[in-house]
Structure 1
Amino acid sequence: MPKSHSPRMKKHLLLLATLSLFLQHCKSTEEAPNPVETASPRVPETADNYLTTLPAHIQTALAGTDNTPTNNLLTNDGAALGRVLFYDKNLSLNRTVSCGSCHKQAASFDDEVALSKGFNNALTTRNSMSLLNVRFYRSGKMFWDERAATLEKQALQPIQNPLEMGLTLAELENRVKSLSYYPALFQKAFGSTTVDSIKIAKALAQFERSLVTYRSKYDRVKQGLETFTAAEARGEQVFLATPGGGGAISCGGCHTPPMFITSAPAGPFAFPLEAGINGQNRFKSGSLRNVGTRKFLFHQGTIPDVNSLFNGQRPVPAHNIPAPDVANMIAFLNTLTDESITQDPKFSDPFN
């Protein structure tokens, strides 16, 4: 017969068994995966048309500034896949945020706050840039400090950022592979159901390059379909004028028409706690398209809206804009608003 344990030994064994069960429960709780969203994206059987015929004045600009690489040309199926990836919250660690959470269509693919919230509610360190017209940034360098050499390289960095989306590339690939709606989308976009981070980056970049504004009042004027008001026409003159001569530059020097973007960084600006590109106090110049409806401008979100750009307390060059012309300048900037891109279904969240 087996030897019986003493009461003291029995107590120790019971404690050890209880502790073992507790540790197993903790381990299983830590490792239990978050539930995958059951909703599948609503995408048309035939992809939407992202290969839009642009007006002549924009086509001319694109010919000289397009940063699309030859190995990632824009296609309808590629952009359609990119749209799903862009809005898929499964691409964040706890499946709560997507790229579209900080780049909202209704906000011109910008955010409505100065600093955005990541997957764990921590705030980002910079204001999210509008993604409109990034295809026209000739150098292809992305982020306020231009640390990403291409849009394809930029596309994966927020996903890996510990504050924003929090995944590793291996986790990203496994997440996408695990979702039933992706094989068909990858097959259409790339001719293979194989998923990897390179294809994910390419698809996201294609969708972002499709975000081109060309249906504003400014565009209709340049096509001869409409005319500026007197205030708008004066505002355009002020915008393009070189203030004070000499080495000064115009607003259009950093925000060149017709897309009001250039890959020549702006600055130097003296911002606290921020030195920008290579510590030079210079920052990427984003497109001013839709600036009239966007909020919290500049990399720190220090300017609440376009009306606050010229109030005398902004940390940007005054460009010697005469006080009477401030209203004219704002009137002109408001002609750059393309409301259609904020409502077009092919750019919308397919999970809603």
Structure 2
Amino acid sequence: MRTFAIVALIVMGLLVLYFNGFFIPPPSQSYRPPSASELREEALRRGLRPVPATWREAREAVANPNNPLNPEKIALGQRLYFDPILSKDRTINCASCHILEEGGDDNRPTAIGYHGQPNPKHLNSPTVLNAALAKRQFWDGRAKDVEAQAKGPIQAPFEMAMTPEEVVARLEARPDYVEAFADVFGGEGITFDHVADAIGAYERTLLTRGAFDRFLEGDDEALGPEARAGLNLFMRIGCKGCHGGMSVGGQSLQRFPLRRYNSLLVPSSRFVDGERWFAGFRWQKPRGDEPYPFPDIGGFHGAKGQYLFRVPILRNITRTAPYFHNGSVEKIDEAVRIMARHQLGLELSDAQVQQLVAFLKSLEGDPVPYEIR
């Protein structure tokens, strides 16, 4: 009993110290935020890259040796992308769930398909913008490229609800499509693989540029002070470890969440002036068997049920709410807090959250109007 009382007093003392900020260090007088040029150099050193401004460079960045790009194939893919002929009741098309003007998704918690059916696992539509830069497609990463991905929604019974044979038959009944496929694919004519190749070719042109790209290319004024602070934080606390490359994500599968916090008393740390500091303990209501820090709507648990998810592309992320695989989180600042806490083990201050959101806004951009030749 005496031992229990001593332990209880120690715990209470730690809690008092924590809530009075004892474990959080004062700002370091020696810490100096990096200059714009230093920040740019660090971002480039860590593999962040601007989206090319010219088609010659962009074509190299998105090239697929199994699906060579040419203007005719891209034009055919664009027609198919917007044509409801690929859906069973001819009412929806690729653009129904991947709206180019809305960040490349549909801003719904879950996709709605044939006869108004929602995705049975309540999965959120990922953006199509910059998707060609990713190494994996779909939330579980099961498709290796945009060509393979294009086949999925067309055949899914709750999306476009077609079979490959129905797709070919419909297109062969259209003389204009017969001619277009012959021009692009020669004597092979219309096949389901060629439909996917054409759509994939068009999607490979859907790259976006914005303030972040101009900053990486040398424009110090492209990012304001808050966005620069957010970029610095993004790299220093570890976000860059998963969200990398030209697409700022989409390159790997990662476990989510890494930290479950199922106990009552959990350790906490904060990031102050470039360093991680232990910040005491905090009370945490046990979540029991809940797998996520938000409602488990749809019961989707990632690749092979192992809580492995494709890392989202962060370009245009501020335009693609709601967030996470089942669209359970409406606000970007809440999504940032969840990621920091459950992936990095960090408690971010309000100012740090706003800095990261300011950086994420710099990743907004519209599709580049490439002169494709």
Normalising by the residue count of structure 2, what TM-score does the alignment of the two structures yield? 0.68
Q: In the TM superposition, what is the alpha-carbon distance from 1:55 to its structure 2 partner?
A: 4.6
The alignment of Structure 1 onto Structure 2 pairs a total of residues equal to 279
Supply the AA of the counterpart residue of 1:54: P
Q: How does 1:32-51 map to 2 (within 5 A)?
A: none
- Tell me what 1:132 maps to: 129
Other-structure match for 1:153: 148
Code of the residue aligned with 2:346 in structure 1: it is N
Give the aligned partner of residue 222 of structure 1: 216
Q: Partner of 2:265 in structure 1?
A: none
* Corresponding residue for residue 333 of structure 1: 360
Residue number in structure 2 paired with 1:54: 52
Contact 1:90 1:175 in 2 (8 A): yes
Contact 1:55 1:223 in 2 (8 A): no
Q: Please state whether the residue corresponding to 1:266 is helix, strand or coil.
A: strand
- 1:54 and 1:345 map into 2 onto residues whose CA distance is 10
**Which residue number in structure 1 is paired with residue 112 of structure 2?**
117
What letter corresponds to residue 75 of structure 2 in structure 1? A
- Counterpart of 1:203, as a letter, is A
Determine the C-alpha separation between the residues in 1 that align with 2:367 and 2:154. 28
Deviation at 1:189, TM superposition (A): 2.3
What CA deviation, in whole Å up to 9, does each residue of 1:222-259 have, x standing for no partner? 111342211111100110113xxxxxxx1111111442
Q: For 2:114 and 2:325, locate their aligned partners in 1 and report how far apart those are by CA, in whole Å.
A: 20
Tell me how far apart the structure 1 counterparts of residues 91 and 328 of structure 2 sit (CA, whole Å).
Answer: 27
Deviations 1:30-67 (A, max 9, x none): xxxxxxxxxxxxxxxxxxxxxxx9259x959x97xx57
Name which of 144, 157, 180 aligns with 2:175: 180
Question: Any conservation in 1 of the 2:337–2:348 contact (CA below 8 Å)?
Answer: no
Q: 1:68 to 1:321 in 2, by over 3 A?
A: farther
Kindly indicate whether the alpha-carbon contact (under 8 Å) linking 2:172 and 2:190 is maintained by their aligned counterparts in 1: yes
Letter of the structure 2 residue corresponding to residue 201 of structure 1 = A
**Residue 313 to residue 148, structure 1, CA distance change in 2 (3 Å):** closer
2:303 is aligned to: 277
Aligned to 1:89: 84
2:91 counterpart SS class: coil
Q: Is the 8 A contact 1:217 1:226 kept in 2?
A: no
The 1:315–1:299 alpha-carbon spacing in structure 2 relative to 1, beyond 3 Å, is farther
Gap regions ≥5 residues in structure 2: 1-50, 258-290
Compared CA separation, residues 150 and 293, structure 1 to 2 (3 A): closer
Q: Hey, what does 1:267 align to over in structure 2?
A: 255
Give the number of the structure whose alpha-carbon radius of gyration is greater.
1
**Structure 1 residues without counterparts, runs of 5 or longer:** 1-52, 243-249, 348-352
Closer/same/farther in 2, CA of residues 111 and 148 from structure 1, 3 Å limit: same
Task: State the one-letter code of the partner of 1:282.
Answer: L
Q: State whether structure 2 residue 229 is matched by structure 1 residue 203.
A: no
Q: CA deviation at 1:315?
A: 8.6
Alpha-carbon spacing, 1:340–1:209, altered in 2? closer, same or farther (3 Å): closer
User: In terms of mean alpha carbon deviation, does 256-265 or 306-315 score higher?
Assistant: 306-315
Name the TM-score, length of structure 1 as normaliser: 0.72
1:110, CA displacement in angstroms? 0.7
Larger deviation, residues 197-206 vs 306-315: 306-315
* Amino-acid identity (%): 27
Match of 1:7 in 2: none
Secondary structure at the aligned position of 1:310 is classed as: helix
Contact 2:86–2:154 (Cα < 8 Å) also in 1: yes
Question: Of 240, 243, 248, which residue of structure 2 is paired with 1:252?
Answer: 240
Change (3 A) 1:72 1:98: same
Tell me the alpha carbon deviations over residues 268-319 of structure 1, each in whole angstroms, 9 at most, x when there is no partner. Answer: 3234322201222010012110112221122101122423323569995355
For 1:101 and 1:296, locate their aligned partners in 2 and report how far apart those are by CA, in whole Å.
17
The answer to whether the 8 Å contact 1:259/1:287 transfers is yes
Q: Is 1:170 the counterpart of 2:196 in the alignment?
A: no
Q: Does 1:75 align with 2:63?
A: no
Distance 2:332 2:371 in 1: 28
- Displacement of 1:187 in angstroms is 3.0
1:316–1:301 CA distance, 2 compared to 1 (3 A): farther
**Is the Cα–Cα contact under 8 Å of residues 184 and 193 in structure 1 kept in the other structure?**
no
Instruction: Report the CA distance between 1:146 and its aligned residue.
Output: 1.6
Quick check: 125-134 or 187-196, which moved more? 187-196
Distance 1:327 1:151 in 2: 33
Q: Which has the higher strand share?
A: 2
C-alpha RMSD of matched pairs (Å): 2.8
SS in 2 for 1:283: strand
Alpha-carbon deviation of 1:175?
0.9
**Higher relative contact order structure (alpha carbons within 8 Å, sequence separation ≥ 6):** 2
SS class of match (2:308): coil
In structure 2, give the amino acid aligned to 1:134: A
